[in-house]
Structure 1
Amino acid sequence: MVFSKSYCPYCKATKTLLRDMNATFEVYELDKESDGSAIQDALEEISNQRTVPNVFIGQKHIGGNSDLQALKKTALPGMLQKANAL
């Protein structure tokens, strides 16, 4: 699951990486939803992260784009496979 904002370049990089890895994922564009601000507040309470993208794989908080990019060649493929996202 990617919590995103449609205009955010880091969110775009995250979604591109996941698409390039043929991952199956949902995107919630916070700026396109009427309750986006409330969702972002709740995400901050859950993950201690206010910024987007806010990425979860298999219900585990991964972090943002830099966190995801850092896992690209190491743990990310296995995490996606384990979460049945590939």
Structure 2
Amino acid sequence: MADAKTKAQSIIDENAVAVFSKSYCPYCNSSKRLLDSLGAKYKVVELDKVPDGSAIQDALEEISSQRTVPNIWIGKKHIGGNSDLQAKSGELKDLLAEVGAL
């Protein structure tokens, strides 16, 4: 678990935008579509495609108190899930520009 937590934290720290996702999740896909439509540069980790995905998901719950995906971080700040990201769509472009993700 410590390795997964370290890995999750470094992904969050090293990327302006980090999206922890599952490839088959419609909410995850909606979040990625929104980010793509704005031309955002982001790191996506498909938890169902990496060997330590479930450990990373457990670690994310420890870090953010959120177990569900997508689990989205912008500028090392936890945004939340898809509905949280969609709710920020008006200010998202500015937020992304601030962290250098556009």
Work out whether 1:52 is the aligned partner of 2:72: no
Which residue of structure 1 lines up, in the alignment, with residue 28 of structure 2? Answer: 11
* Greater helix content: 2
Question: SS state of the match for residue 69, structure 2?
Answer: coil
Report sequence identity in percent: 65
What stretches of structure 1 move > 6 A for 4+ residues in a row? none
How do 1:37-76 residues align onto structure 2 when only pairs under 5 Å count? 37-73=54-90, 75-76=91-92
> Runs of 5+ in structure 1 lacking a partner?
none
Normalised to the residue count of structure 1, the TM-score between the two structures is: 0.97
Normalised to the residue count of structure 2, the TM-score between the two structures is: 0.82
RMSD after superposition: 0.5
Query: 1:56 deviation in Å?
Result: 0.3
Question: SS state of the match for residue 31, structure 1?
Answer: coil
Which residue of structure 2 lines up, in the alignment, with residue 80 of structure 1? Answer: 96
Aligned residues: 85
